Amino acid sequence: MNKKTLIIGASTNPERYSYKAAHMLSQYGHSIINVGIKKGEVAGQPIEPATTIYDDIDTVTMYMGAQNQKPLYDYILELHPKRIIFNPGAENTELQLLAESNGITVENACTLVLLRTGQY
């Protein structure tokens, strides 16, 4: 089942986990939206700024440190995804509490591991 996923912290650097996740999500049949600061393309999709509000996001997968997430709180909550995955290094208790109070499930997990183990 396609779980449309918005990747926050998308990067064109093949060494970055957000890059690897974009490719793996695509390989597993999930459509992706890349959101990041730098322009470019990952897994055939452009990297865009956090401005467009989508109404069909299943999962937000976070690859940005908590200290940089605060300006995106309203954007993320407006997307009203079913869940947010905080990948290692992106855990954020403040955003987690905000998300949960808005009915959004939160997981502190690794998107790559969830995909590989069939738990995505």
Is the domain spanning 5-116 CATH 3.30.750.200? The answer is no
Q: What is the pTM of this model?
A: 0.97
Cβ atoms 28, 120 nearer than 8 A? yes
Residue 55: predicted pLDDT: 95
**pLDDT (tens digit per residue) in 31-70:** 999 999 999 999 999 999 999 999 999 999 999 999 999 9
Local structure of 109: helix, strand or coil:
coil
**pLDDT (tens digit per residue) in 54-113:** 999 999 999 999 999 999 999 999 999 999 999 999 999 999 999 999 999 999 999 999
- Give me the amino acid identity at 22: A
